[in-house]
Amino acid sequence: MRQANQRHGVRPSSAPGPGSTPFVDYSHGYIISSDCMDCGVCEYMCPQGAIYEAKRQFVIQKQLCNGCGDCVPYCPARAIVPRARFHDRQGRTVRNVLGAVLTER
């Protein structure tokens, strides 16, 4: 049942419509770290088509990623991580860990 102040065919001001931009929270979803091996498995496993090949690694388009995580278990390098943990993960890349081990010697 319609509210008394709404007329037929008039959209409430709070409802999204043409020209409006709904708030989208991009902090959820996934991102691919620099450990990506450029194998391409994730691109085929993404049901949204949010993953594409860039220069020497694959990238997730945050506008298309719905955060389902279907791609995560198929990444052999474990390079696909939640956006919220990306900065922590970049500090622990294979290159950084190996470099720390080699400089200890």
Q: What is the pLDDT of residues 9-21, one digit of tens each?
A: 444 444 455 554 4
Cα–Cα dist 54/57, whole Å: 6
User: Between these two residues, 34 and 105, which has the higher pLDDT value?
Assistant: 34
Helix, strand, coil percentages (3-state) for the chain, rounded to 5, are 25, 15, 60
Return d(Cα 27, Cα 89) in angstroms, integer.
15
Q: Is the pTM of this model over 0.75?
A: no
CATH assignment of 30-85, among 2.40.30.10, 3.30.710.10, 1.10.1660.10, 3.30.70.20: 3.30.70.20
pLDDT in tens, 52-77: 999 888 999 989 999 999 999 999 98
Parse the chain into domains and list their residue ranges: 30-85
